A and B are shown apart, each in its own frame.
Chain A
């Protein structure tokens, strides 16, 4: 690609692509966003809503994860903890206490944040692989807690979680009605993440990602920024997990298992780390694949592994990352 001399020549002209369209999106991002919204609005009339809801829940989960790895440079390998606990708490609240869905989902986000605060506080003390290992170890503790705790239902999980009635008006039993709630949660979460990335806070986040010692030398207390980013990411993961438990009426150990942490890494990687739309595409690809390959049983894991390796070796930037790179735009 162009560097050195050609850049110097293009210097004074550079950055013309950065023109803003709306909501802080650049032109190409705005187009991608409109395409995505159109798809979200139209697809339930062509495709199975439950399948689409699964994609949207995982897309939000992957976006939340990507907030950390893509914009702060922190690779969490324990995001299943926040996703899974979100699922348990939302599910339990909806089933045992009859909490309405909107509140139950928010409680899922709250437990994500509540876990993310101490876990993040511990993990950000270390960098690189040690950070990842700490997040993994803490998530394993959550897994064993979920296995033992009475309210999670152990091996059975929490079953027959009622979807309830949204705002006391909309009965969510019908898949299509539930779909609109999930779509709204996803779009709100997506826009929030976009805003976080493009806020004064986001500027500091990206500076830390790019060069942490330099950010420190400018007087930023980087731990505080990392911790806030961690908590926000965990809260959004909790919301994704909570929403998922309402969609499928179930919260189980699968949601807190370490393979779930691995799956979200895979989704973000396939879609493109550090791109705002990448994790959405990655989630769609992986969930679709799991769906269609389900009949092959354990082979799904092998195929996923192969894709993972292919991404790492050949498409380092992921699907959207490669497209953005080819078009020389930010997505």
Chain B
């Protein structure tokens, strides 16, 4: 079972725990994400999904537990190092560079391919070699016409699309998307779902969603988190049939929610 490199889980946590001054936000989570799958992480607000993401991408140090990515222990690494290994995240609150143009947003990610950019004496026209690829990526997410616009001026849904294009520019092996559809209109949601499906080819995706219906047609495996703990795991049919999930996550049954 321990053949880490190719057919083992690409991402695996053991006993992952995060406490904020005694408050346990993530408790003893054992997560296994299989290579090449779309894995959903769902749960109500405050369940600890974003904290989990911050732990996986090293934006927060765990209180306890370990994280293995692609056969390597990344528990002690820095966030930029993890990104360099191909584990790249997006943010719940749309993360663009608001004063850069849309094109520059994507280009600054492509620029990573040069290695470090400490050359302050060179002209930025050097970066024009990345423009063609940047335009391709913008084309992929339907932003071609916006390339010269300042990113901060984009409508919300387009910002999220730009964020995905920027993330894809790094050619990540694994994508972590934190509520990519949050705050979007229906058509935008459909577009992003289609986009996630498309970019998942040849990659692994870990997707946080608040909305169970979004993950239904999208995810191979779903992990349900409540109050920091894993409540259930399985495919959509199994998870949605689980009475505990229905009670805790959907919370629609007033008879069951009394015990909180």
Distance in angstroms from B93 CB to nearest chain A CB is 10
Query: Nearest B residue to A16 by beta-carbon distance?
Result: B148
Q: Convert A209-235 into 0s and 1s, putting 1 for each residue whose CB lies closer than 8 angstroms to a CB of B.
A: 111011111111110110010001000
CA distance A216 to B78 in the complex (A): 9
User: Given contacts A7-B153, A213-B95, is CB(A220)–CB(B146) below 8 Å?
Assistant: no
The CA of A203 and the CA of B111, in the complex, are separated in Å by 9
Tell me the complex Cα distance, A2–B117, Å: 34
A2 to B79, CA, bound (A): 36
Chain B residues with CB under 8 Å of A217's CB are 57, 59, 79, 83, 88-91, 95
Of B98-106, B219-227, B235-243, B244-252, the one with at least 4 CB within 8 A of chain A: B98-106
Cα A200 to Cα B113 with chains together (Å)? 12
Which of the residues B91, B107, B114 comes within 8 Å of A214, measured between beta carbons? B91
How close is A291's CB to chain B, nearest CB, in angstroms?
Answer: 34
Produce 1/0 per residue, B62-92, CB < 8 A to A. 0000000000000000111001100011110
Chain B positions within 8 Å of A214 at CB level: 91, 95-97
* B114 with A216: CB separation less than 8 A: no
- In the complex, which range does the number of interface residues on chain A fall in? 35 or more
Of B3-11, B118-126, B192-200, which stretch is located at the interface? B118-126
Q: Contact between B104 and A203 (Cβ–Cβ < 8 Å)?
A: yes
A201 touches B119 (CB 8 A): yes
Q: Are A18 and B148 in contact (CB under 8 A)?
A: yes
User: Is B100 a contact of A201 with CB atoms below 8 Å?
Assistant: no
Q: How far is the CB of A226 from chain B (nearest CB, A)?
A: 12
Expressed in whole angstroms, the minimum distance between the Cβ of B32 and any Cβ of chain A is 23
A218 contacts across to B, CB distance below 8 A: 83, 88, 108-109, 112, 166, 170
- In the complex formed, the residue of A with least CB distance to B158 is A8
Q: A4-B155, A7-B154, A200-B117 are in contact. Are A15 and B148 (CB under 8 A)?
A: yes
CB-based contact A211/B111 at 8 Å: no
B124 close to A211 (CB less than 8 A) = no
Residues in A neighbouring B84, C-beta threshold 8 A:
219
User: Does B258 make an interface contact (CB < 8 A)?
Assistant: no
A24–B109 touching, CB < 8 Å: no
Chain B neighbourhood of A11, CB < 8 A: 145-146, 149
Which chain A residue lies CB-closest to B97?
A: A210
Expressed in whole angstroms, the Cα–Cα distance for A2 and B154 within the complex equals: 11
Residue B116 CB within 8 A of the other chain: yes
Q: Which one of A191-199, A250-258, A304-312 contacts B?
A: A191-199
**Nearest chain A residue, comparing its CB with the CB of B101:** A15
Give B51 Cβ to nearest chain A Cβ, in Å: 14
Indicate if the CB atoms of A207 and B97 lie closer than 8 Å: yes
Q: Which of A2, A195, A207, A222 contacts B121 (CB 8 A)?
A: A195
Partner of B149, one of A14, A204, A207, A224: A14
A207 and B124 in contact (CB under 8 A), knowing A15-B101, A217-B83?
A: no
Residues of A within 8 A of B (CB): 2-4, 7-8, 10-12, 14-16, 18, 24, 195-196, 198-204, 206-207, 209-211, 213-222, 224-225, 228, 232
Can you identify 18 A-B contacts, CB atoms within 8 angstroms? A3-B153, A7-B149, A10-B149, A14-B148, A15-B149, A16-B148, A24-B124, A24-B125, A200-B111, A200-B114, A203-B100, A203-B104, A210-B96, A214-B96, A216-B59, A217-B79, A218-B83, A218-B166
